[in-house]
Amino acid sequence: MSFPFLPRASVVLGLLTLSACGSSPTPPTPKGEVVQVTDSEYGVNFEYTTSRDFSYALAALPGYTHSAAEVHLLTLVNEERVKGGVCPVRGGGQRTYGPARPLLFEGHLHRAASDYARELAESGSTVLAHRSALTGLVPSQRVVGAGYHPLPPKGAALEFNESLAAEWLKSDPAGVVAAWKASPEHCGALYEPMLSFSHGAVAWVETQVHGQPVSYWVLNTAGY
């Protein structure tokens, strides 16, 4: 497909924020506990089975590499979170966010982000949709499908966020963060406080589009 060439250092953004689920009212089964996910953004409802023994992956999963560029961008995001910031509000004004706990790297989120960054890169498009053009899956489904199966405390809401960016001609993590901070929705997601657990992962894939290098970034976060 064809699309207009973007000037140097331009960044195309995409964002999804949703509040998914609390602990399921469904009684535990011998095989685990069922968590209901309600994704009002896309009208998607599904469930997954987990247990209190679910372990978060604190390193990249087998077959996935946590690159220096990905570490750098997540570090920059966390530097912003721990100091707080001021975000523009659509329609005018500003909103101030206090310090928030840093995001802890989580391997299942990294798998979901990496797979989607690769899909976006293979498409060669800068139309950054959150619903996969290949599978039809939305971020909550992709993250859970990658193995992220926490059991939120009863009554707690599990929050999913996904931020996307595409850069032409150069890879600039600081420029991506600056672009997210300039966008009301992305800025709010950047500083989103989580009450208990805050996990996140960045994926980066660089490809050639019309003979020019393009970097695709995916930031998936989750917590409650």
Q: State the total domains in the chain.
A: 1
Establish if 52 belongs to a structural domain. Answer: no
Establish if 4 belongs to a structural domain. Answer: no
- Say what the pTM is: 0.86
Establish if 93 belongs to a structural domain. Answer: yes
Establish if 132 belongs to a structural domain. Answer: yes
Structural domain of 70? 11-20+57-223
Nearest of 224, 204, 223, 201 to residue 215 by alpha carbon: 204
Establish if 35 belongs to a structural domain. Answer: no
Establish if 51 belongs to a structural domain. Answer: no
Q: CATH code at 142?
A: 3.40.33.10
Cβ neighbors of 128 (< 8 A, separation 6 or more) are 12, 13, 14, 120, 164, 165, 166
pLDDT in tens, the chain (224 residues): 222 222 223 344 455 545 554 443 344 444 689 998 888 888 899 999 999 899 999 999 999 999 999 999 999 999 999 999 999 998 999 999 999 999 999 999 999 999 999 999 999 888 899 999 999 999 999 999 999 999 988 888 888 889 999 988 778 899 999 999 999 989 988 998 876 678 999 999 989 888 888 999 999 999 88
Establish if 99 belongs to a structural domain. Answer: yes
Establish if 176 belongs to a structural domain. Answer: yes
